[in-house]
Structure 1
Amino acid sequence: MPLYSKKEILNLKLNSIKSKELRVLAKNLGISPKGSAAEIIKRILEMKPQSPENIVDAYIKSIFLQSIQERKELISDDDLKNELSKVKSFSWGTKQGELDQKIQKDFVRIYCHYDDLVSHVEATLFKDVTNYVICSWYNYWTTVYIEEHIGMHPKVIPTIKNIKGIDIFFDGQPFDLKISYVPRNYNIDEAVKNPLNLAVWMYENQGAERFGADNRLFFILLDKDNTNKSWELKRDFDLIFSKIDSFFSKEKVSDSGEIVFSYKGKSYTAITKVLLITK
């Protein structure tokens, strides 16, 4: 995927702003806030002689900061970190996205007697569901906190609403952000030695329902002494934030970061960077 032009990037940034907030931005820029979001964006893109990108960036940051403050009103940073520290184990019990299949396969279509069904649900499914919910909760809130930190970095502009394949803009280019672990069936030494090869592997082994060839930033967490405890690194925010800040401050985006990968017989290209955070 080639690098985007400045006008294309500005268009993507504007499309990441919700309609109500886009109208406020239009007023701030001194142009008409009337019409559809697409019409407002068109007028902003046609502004001359100077691009309003810096103003747009500052506006997006202000909205993002407000969302962080709203989260802090729900739960403070310290309280959130304390709650996350209560998780003592990390075992999904069933694969992500397959809980309903498990219920159908192992319970609904197996037991024809009510008492047998309830007995087996209480004996096994309750624990599986509890583990699944805890893992989902842990993943969600650690990701929220990390992405808040990323979004406030001076070289990063976050998206305000969901855009498929774009979480942030870094060094003037859009990226999908992936915070993950080294897969169980991937060689650890190879991951440490050649993290870019790991990125290619993750592109090529992604699920069909979530397939994407978008530019990606991979932040991979790895406990080299005990890979089963890599999940605990995701709440070691001092370590993660230090590594992430250093990464964004030093890295640049260029065509040299382009990779080629294959998926179901087709070839794709993407701009990719990998930060391996180890302990």
Structure 2
Amino acid sequence: MLSDFDILQKLYDDDKFVDLLHQPNGILWLKLRSISRVEQMSLFCQRIGLDVTSIPSRQLFKYVYDHKPSNEVLESFIRELFKQERNERRERENYIIDQLYQMKVFDWGGLYQNSLEQTIINNYVKRIQSWDELNLAIDNKIFASMKGYIQCSWYNYWSSILIEDIFKDHPSVLPTIGLVKKVDFFIHDFPFDLKVTYFPDGYMEILRRAEGLRPELTLIKDFCRQQGIWFDNNKPADVLLAELWAKVTEHPSQEAKDFITDLKQTRKRLLQKTIENPKALKTWLYENQGIRRFDASNRFFLVLVNVNNFDESWKLKRNKHLLEKAIHSHLDKMKPDDMEKLQLKFKWKNEEFETYADILFIVA
């Protein structure tokens, strides 16, 4: 028969997050997991006067959990650890933000997250037979693409730390200390995995289709053909859409200005419609996860939108003043009783899942 600890571990491993939360000690288990590294857990045991000198390191987490430490003492310990880490980062925060502003263009270079190896294997390793041609491709194509990939990854990493700290600085938020899969912090004792994203092109097309509107890419390609604006139709749809937006926006004709103005107005209207009723977007974000990153954990979606140019929404990730004001205002309004209202059901691969999800739009 499985122990209480093993039941919670299995629920966590099996991605049954809601079931775990409904267990009497599910939240305690998750909080302890965030300090489950040996050095952190040993310090906590010293704090609560628990002798673990004879306990093997692999059994330490379970041993401490079985003793059911006080939630108040545990939270106080976690906040102390976070304060130490936060003070170290705060000393460098202005420097990091300044460095993030050195990023002028956000371009993955064709090597997108989760597909780096696959892209290189498919486009170069399996297609090129000549040794000289392979090395030429490495020098002229892969190097430039890798540079863009690394720069974008760097920007996402450090801006994500900045945003997480903004959340964790709020008094209603309990941070996690170690890297805990599926949990970045707790809001009123509810665990959330933070997902920073932008307004999805795919969801925008769903909204347009629901109103009988043609896809943006189809419209903008037709306009370019009419105006004699050349484009490469073999490029990926998202890349081509961004390029054509730029080309038409910069075109000097009044027709181009009117066309872009009309597209922007439609985008803003559909964005506002989504903000007023965000449940469908939350569901879409769960149901359109990649296979490698799929899980049904509670999520806090932070959706960043530059209304004048959706393709530059990435710049908002470094705007601390804007982010901090909006995030803390949202957290100020959240109450413990509000958490159950965030319940959400979705389908993935013909299987039904239940979770909890909040969403905050930051529009500038």
Pairing partner for 1:39 from 40, 63, 74: 63
The answer as to whether partners of 1:61 and 1:152 remain within 8 angstroms in 2 is no
Report the Cα distance in structure 1 between the residues aligned to 2:22 and 2:332, rounded to whole angstroms.
21
Give the match's secondary structure for 2:177. Answer: strand
The residue number in structure 2 matching 1:87 is 103
Q: Answer yes or no: is 1:127 the counterpart of 2:144.
A: yes
CA distance in 2, matches of 1:178, 1:5: 25
Question: Partner of 1:145 in structure 2?
Answer: 162
Q: Is residue 2:346 matched to residue 1:261? A: yes
The answer to whether the aligner puts 1:273 opposite 2:340 as a matched pair is: no
Report the Cα distance in structure 2 between the residues aligned to 1:7 and 1:186, rounded to whole angstroms: 38
The amino acid across from 1:22 in the alignment is M
Larger Rg: 2
Structure 1: stretches of 5+ with no match in the other structure: none
Deviations 1:174-225 (A, max 9, x none): 1111111111222251433322221110000001111111111111101111
Deviations 1:221-243 (A, max 9, x none): 01111100100111111001111
Structure 1 residue 210 and structure 2 residue 227: aligned?
no
Match of residue 19 from structure 1: 38
**Paired residue secondary structure (1:33):** coil
Residue 56 of structure 1 corresponds to 74
Q: Deviations over 1:86-119 (max 9, x none)?
A: 0001111222121111211221222222221121
Aligned mate of 1:96, from 113, 117, 123: 113
Count of equivalent residues: 271
> Would the alpha carbon gap of residues 57 and 31 (structure 1) be closer, same or farther in structure 2, given more than 3 Å must change?
same
What is the CA–CA distance in structure 1 between the aligned matches of 2:147 and 2:73, rounded to whole Å? 46
Q: Which amino acid aligns with 2:185?
A: I
1:165, 1:175 within 8 Å by CA — same for their partners in 2? Answer: yes
Q: Given the two structures, how large is their TM-score scaled by the length of structure 1?
A: 0.91
One-letter amino acid matched to 2:31: K
Q: TM-score, normalised by structure 2?
A: 0.70
Amino acid of the structure 1 residue aligned with 2:38: S
Maintained 8 Å contact 2:174/2:185: yes
Q: Aligned in 2, Cα 1:165/1:154: closer, same or farther, shift over 3 Å?
A: same
Q: Is the 8 A contact 2:307 2:363 kept in 1?
A: yes
- Checking the alignment, whether the CA contact within 8 Å between 2:304 and 2:361 is kept in structure 1 is yes
CA distance in 1, matches of 2:197, 2:39: 34
Identity %: 32
Unaligned 5+ segments in structure 2 are 1-17, 205-266
Mapping 1:241-256, distance limit 5 Å: 241-252=324-335, 253-256=338-341
Structure 2 Cα separation of the partners of residues 194 and 272 of structure 1: 14
Question: How far off is 1:65 after superposition?
Answer: 2.1
Name the one with the larger strand percent: 1
- 2:12 aligned partner: none
Q: Distance in 2 between matches of 1:177 and 1:267?
A: 22
Name the structure with the higher helix share. 2
Select between 194-203 and 4-13 the one with higher mean Cα deviation.
4-13
Equivalent-residue separation in structure 2 for 1:16 and 1:4 (angstroms): 19
